[in-house]
Structure 1
Amino acid sequence: MSSATVKLRQPSDGDGHALHQLVARCQPLDTNSVYCNLLQCTDFADTAIAAENADGNLVGFISGYRPPARPDTLFVWQVAVDSSMRGQGLALRMLLALIARVAAQGVRYIETTITPSNAASQALFLKAFKQLEIPHDTSVLFSSQKHFAGQSEDEELYRAGPLSLNSDKKILQD
């Protein structure tokens, strides 16, 4: 199945358990409780996107939220794509569709954190920023030593924007 035949939609409460299973299959993503996934699919549905295949199975998901202190920002928390769909551009398609939806609601900046070893996520976000023609900066948000007691890599903050009318047109064209 190609990513073009996958339906993108806003998640619902019926997606919580399937999301939990999807994330568990997408190592090394951190799993959360099913309850947390239910909240991602309900309370944060406006800032998330689900991808389902023709059989109705969840094969992709992006969770995010708008930080209360920065309502003009979408923070992308997690991107999960089933192994059967990888390498087909589904993650980029989901990300651009989600950005288009939240841009219409006033979001002008995109943020995420990525570990230095996660080349796939770096490539995804840099490709999206390039396609949208928006500048970005990176900085360490959570340090390995200070925040993770040396047990995890740094979490580098990628902040891009502002989205412009030109960016919005690029989202809609692709």
Structure 2
Amino acid sequence: MTAAQADLQIDRPTVADGAALWRIAKDSKALDLNSSYSYLLWCRDFAGTSAVARDEHGEPVGFVTGYVRPDRPHTLLVWQVAVDGAQRGRGIAAALLDGLVARVGDAYGVTGVETTITPGNTASERLFTSFAERHGAALEREVLFEAGLFPDGPHDPEVLYRIGPLPH
């Protein structure tokens, strides 16, 4: 943990955090924004496979949402990563991802991470590429969902990043 991260607490989200996670996602301008209801449900049903970073006042400033894939129980699918604009550049996303994967690895026996990234999202590409490098894990990429599969207008393809195996 860097000195810039020392005043942060990383833990599980609670339902009371749902509105803040929705706002952080909305303000990111990079994520596909889900309904506010979905963030409340996520904080209730997937708190064990998600993480929130809190500032010195206990307010959420970043989050990672994820779930263990039902058909691949040793794989954590990272759904969204976002950090409040005023907090970016401090390594919070990397600290959240490292902390979550360590916790989920211990709790669920997770040995791999998956996420999808749209081409051109260089921040996410760097985050997951550097995660794989830090953990000495292989990284594979392939298109998971072609642009034409999305029914709600123009959408870039979603590229699957598969990272693993992770060391125990």
Q: For the superposition of Structure 1 and Structure 2, which TM-score range results when normalised by the shorter chain?
A: over 0.9
Q: Which amino acid aligns with 2:60?
A: L
1:58 aligns with 2:60: yes
The CA distance in 2 between the partners of 1:83 and 1:55, in whole Å, is 17
1:152 aligns with 2:147: no
> How far apart are 1:106 and its partner, in Å?
0.5
* Displaced runs of 4 or more, over 4 A: none
Which of 142, 147, 166 matches 2:145?
142
Which of 108, 123, 133 matches 2:111?
108
The CA distance in 2 between the partners of 1:37 and 1:125, in whole Å, is 23
| 132 and 145 in structure 1: CA distance in 2 versus 1, 3 angstrom threshold | same
Q: Is the partner of 2:62 in helix, strand or coil?
A: strand
- Give 5+ residue unaligned stretches, structure 2: none
* 8 Å Cα contact 1:144-1:150 kept in structure 2: no
Q: Is the partner of 1:152 in helix, strand or coil?
A: coil
> How far apart are 1:16 and its partner, in Å?
0.9
Q: Which amino acid aligns with 2:157?
A: D
The CA distance in 1 between the partners of 2:146 and 2:153, in whole Å, is 8
> How far apart are 1:24 and its partner, in Å?
1.2
| 150 and 23 in structure 1: CA distance in 2 versus 1, 3 angstrom threshold | closer
Q: Is the partner of 1:42 in helix, strand or coil?
A: helix
The CA distance in 1 between the partners of 2:57 and 2:149, in whole Å, is 45
Which of 121, 126, 133 matches 1:123?
126
Which of 6, 22, 27 matches 1:25?
27
* 8 Å Cα contact 1:2-1:85 kept in structure 2: no
- Give 5+ residue unaligned stretches, structure 1: 166-174
The CA distance in 2 between the partners of 1:98 and 1:146, in whole Å, is 30
The CA distance in 1 between the partners of 2:55 and 2:25, in whole Å, is 16
> How far apart are 1:100 and its partner, in Å?
0.2
Q: Which amino acid aligns with 1:68?
A: P
Identity %, equivalent residues: 42
Aligned length: 165
TM-score (norm 2): 0.93
Equivalent residue for 2:88?
86
Q: Which amino acid aligns with 1:75?
A: L
Q: Is the partner of 2:79 in helix, strand or coil?
A: strand
TM-score (norm 1): 0.90
Q: Which amino acid aligns with 1:31?
A: L
Indicate the RMSD between aligned Cα atoms, in angstroms. Answer: 1.5
* 8 Å Cα contact 1:3-1:85 kept in structure 2: no
The CA distance in 2 between the partners of 1:38 and 1:147, in whole Å, is 24
| 149 and 40 in structure 1: CA distance in 2 versus 1, 3 angstrom threshold | closer
Matches within 5 A, 1:161-172: 161-165=164-168
